[in-house]
Amino acid sequence: MHILHLSAVTNWGGGENHIENLCSELSESNPEVKNTILCARNTPFHKRLEKTDLNYITAPLNIKVDPRYFLKIGSFCKKEKVDIIHIHESSALFSAILADKLYNLPPFVFSKKTSFPIKQRKKTLYKYNYPKIKKILCVSNETKKVAEHGILDHTKLLTIYHGTNLKTKSSETPFKLRKKYDIKSDQKIIGNIGNHIKAKHLETWINVADTIINKNKRTDFFFVQIGTFSERTKALVDQVKSLNLEKYMVFMDYTPNASNFLPQFDLSLITSQSEGIPQFIYESMYHKTPVISTNVGGISEVIEDNTNGLLAPMHDHKRLTNHVITLSENSELQKDFVTKGYKKLIKKFTTSNMAKQTLEVYKNNINL
């Protein structure tokens, strides 16, 4: 069996991490299954793959729909006798459809990794209901529920949690946060890992810092955010400056192996307004860093409020602030949360489980 995985994004994020984890797990557990990744050339994902043993090919992607990219899909499938095309995001899906018109490609499997609703536009609905798509793998039950409004055949929808790769964990970092950023020993580090995109709503994250430091006069906190900068970054930096928070917050930009910094966080704080399930949660649970999050997307399927973490409505920086202060001052509650979270992670949310379930989908939908 030969699987071609498609990614047409130009940055590095949870979706690309999922592809890497899936292919790594399958190469180890089922070496008879060949996996090849097609990614955009000269992107962070391409550079990341260069450092792995995974099979990959690249194509230029200088515009959203680049003929060189979708022609590469078709020619590779014909040359290498690909059995299934696993499409990992919507831009790649459109390219695959264009390639199918020219090459009559093998069956598609599509991964829906966010809880964004499918837009009720004719072109969008055509794309997501394209007949070559045999299964749509949803990252959470909430994502599946949202997708039902745009998918005509609900039997195509299946939830497969992504999980975390237990074999690749490390806490080695090129520097210590406290030393590099002169964070005092009595300051608690509140961490976040996520790219600077609308879904992460880092404006709320900054508002939590403002409430804690400026309004509550609690200068014993320091906020560290790791994630790829974007066109939204300047506004975030301006917000930090306007609130005089420069001494209490740092944006680190894209950082390789960002999750390795998690053991240096005292708390993980997620302020997203839309999610599937962020990899950051799984990594926090593994490294036993307590989690506070907005209750959006599939997050509540992993974090149960007041059982293995604390949840708040999206945009509610006051509730999140109370959670941060409460949890930071209760070491017993932290221990209880991380113990329960770790057990739940190992039982249900690993890439090993994900790979087994995904392989079954491939086997059941291959053209024999």
DSSP 257-287: TGGGGGGG-SEEEE--SS-S--HHHHHHHHT
The rounded distance, in Å, linking the Cα atoms of 333 and 327 is 7
Which residue(s) pair with 55 in the sheet? 36
Taking the model in full, what pTM does it have?
Answer: 0.86
Report CA-CA distances (Å) from 189 to 250, 290, 330: 11, 12, 15
pLDDT mean values, one per 10 residues, the chain (368 residues): 93 85 93 95 92 94 89 96 95 95 96 90 95 96 94 96 88 96 97 95 98 97 96 97 97 93 98 92 96 96 97 97 97 98 95 94 85
pLDDT value at position 15?
83
User: In whole angstroms, what is the distance from residue 50 CA to residue 28 CA?
Assistant: 18
Identify the pLDDT of residue 69. 95
State the pLDDT at residue 62. Answer: 86
Q: Classify residue 3 as exposed, middle or buried by CB count within 10 Å of its CB (0-12, 13-18, 19+).
A: buried
**What confidence score (pLDDT) does residue 350 get?**
93
Instruction: Give, as one character, the DSSP assignment of residue 10.
Output: S
- Number of continuous H segments (helices) and E segments (strands) in the chain: 13, 13
